[in-house]
Structure 1
Amino acid sequence: MTDPTPIRDAATVILLRRTGGGTGGGSSVLMGMRGAGAVFMPSKYVFPGGAVDASDAAVSLAAPLAEPHRSRLAREPRPDCTPHPDAIAAAALRELAEETGQLIGRPGRCDWPGFAEAGLAPDAASLTYLFRAITPPGRPRRFDAHFFVADAACLATDPDDFSRACDELSHLHWVPLAQARALDLPFITEVVLAELADLIAGLAPDAPLPVPDTVPFFDNRTPAPRFAQIA
């Protein structure tokens, strides 16, 4: 039986702060806890993110997604929707700004709160496409979620100032990567954390983030789950 719940595109940013040695042991990620009354993943620790809005496609980015991330976003489209890569990237940066107050941008014009006051336009070139997962059938809400990682060194804001964050996520803080999986996490967040740890293993704190060989894709469009690698 087909699940009638619509699948919405969503985007998430994993902010990575690297302060330790070359093994990634000093790295931390920005996480917060969803409210107990939330319909989707209540009381779970998550990365900032949310659904793609129609208006995200109209935002002028300071720089687009780099390759191969842009091409990878366009692969494996759903029959019902083929969103533009820039709309997904814009949603990721908008949700990061709304839920944490943190901005990734360059000088430019944008009407979004935070960006407008700072005279910045969102910068998608700072995003690395890491993971994709579609919520399984039977859940109250379903998303085609795209996970990006961004180095905290790209922030145009103080990484410890969350005063401009909305109240959607509580307990916002930098979690040591080695300790993050001990939190109360959704299953998919645990998987993404493992992928991130593998990506930065042995990486020097000042080295650029590498491009993943492939993007893992948990495809749960139907009751028969499928795992793929987007090259």
Structure 2
Amino acid sequence: MSSGAVPIRDAATVVVLRERPEGPSVLMGRRGARAVFMPSKYVFPGGALDACDAGIAAMAQLPPEHAGRLGPGAAALAACAIRELWEETGQILGRRGDWPDPPAGWRGFAATGHQPDASALVPVFRAITPPGRPRRFDARFFLAPATALASDPDDFGRAEDELTHLHWVPLARVHDLDLPDITRLVLHEVEARRDDLRADRPLPFFNGTTAAESFDSSGS
């Protein structure tokens, strides 16, 4: 299949950072060996934007300083990150609240008694899958502290089966795993900005063909 025949889909990923006595860790899981995209690789929770995400973007409340930088659709992408985190790990980035009529795709999340909450999400990276891959995504990576989770960070019992071996990986050892190249780039950015979450910090953008460079909504 030619690269031009592969559509580029919007996607979102969330890097959950947990400060622990032995050092900071990130939540990761391993994709299946038969997966079409990145088989057997360790990745952060994430996936493609669904139509249902746009309908609850206002409820998720991405901070305006971040939404403004990412441009149109930023709030829906933040909602997507929250939904994918829930589906793939069972972790809840949300606040207590009734949700009587959630859209399909969000009913399991709503059944926990929570509404999505994007207030802790900070965009840290954007990357487009290089040409020639069987699937291509325009992915925005968000960073969130584990303290923002409304769930037990060690309970993955409600996760779907897309990712296996879900666990908190120490940053000191994460590069020993079988990681996609883009995941390594994102990790370097996370490590660099753990203590600097300013909204005006330049955000790297890997466009699928060149090295990462800064971007904002005017260049997205």
Quick check: TM above 0.5?
Answer: yes
Partner of residue 137, structure 2: 143
Rounded to whole Å, the distance in 2 between the matches of 1:198 and 1:176 is 15
Shift of 1:50: 0.2
Other structure's SS at 1:145 match: strand
The within-5 A match list for 1:14-163 is: 14-20=15-21, 26-59=23-56, 61-74=58-71, 84-110=73-99, 111=102, 112-163=106-157
- TM alignment of 1:6-21, pairs within 5 A: 6-20=7-21
- The amino acid that maps onto 2:170 is P
> In the alignment, which residue of structure 2 is the partner of 1:78?
none
| Closer/same/farther in 2, CA of residues 225 and 124 from structure 1, 3 Å limit | same
Question: Does the aligned pair in 2 maintain the 1:11–1:145 contact within 8 Å?
Answer: yes
2:167 counterpart (143, 164, 173): 173
3-state DSSP of counterpart to 1:32: strand
Q: Distance in 2 between matches of 1:58 and 1:211?
A: 25
Partner of 2:187 in structure 1?
193
CA RMSD of aligned residues (A): 1.9
Give the Cα–Cα distance (whole angstroms) in 2 for the partners of residues 71 and 97 of structure 1.
Answer: 25
1: CA distance between counterparts of 2:77 and 2:198? Answer: 21
- Identical-pair percentage: 57
SS in 1 for 2:14: strand
State whether residues 62 and 106 of structure 1, in contact with CA within 8 Å, keep that contact through their aligned partners in structure 2: no
Q: Check the 8 A contact 1:60/1:121 in 2, yes or no.
A: no
Unaligned runs of 5+ in 1: 75-82
Distance (whole Å) between structure 2 residues aligned to residue 230 and residue 180 of structure 1:
26
TM normalised by structure 1 equals: 0.85
Number of residue pairs the alignment of both structures matches: 210
How far 1:109 sits from its partner (Å)? 3.9
5+ residue gaps, structure 2: none
Q: TM-score w.r.t. structure 2 length?
A: 0.89
Aligned equivalents of 1:19, 1:89: Cα separation in 2: 26
Q: Cα offset for 1:134? A: 0.3
Contact 1:28 1:174 in 2 (8 A): yes
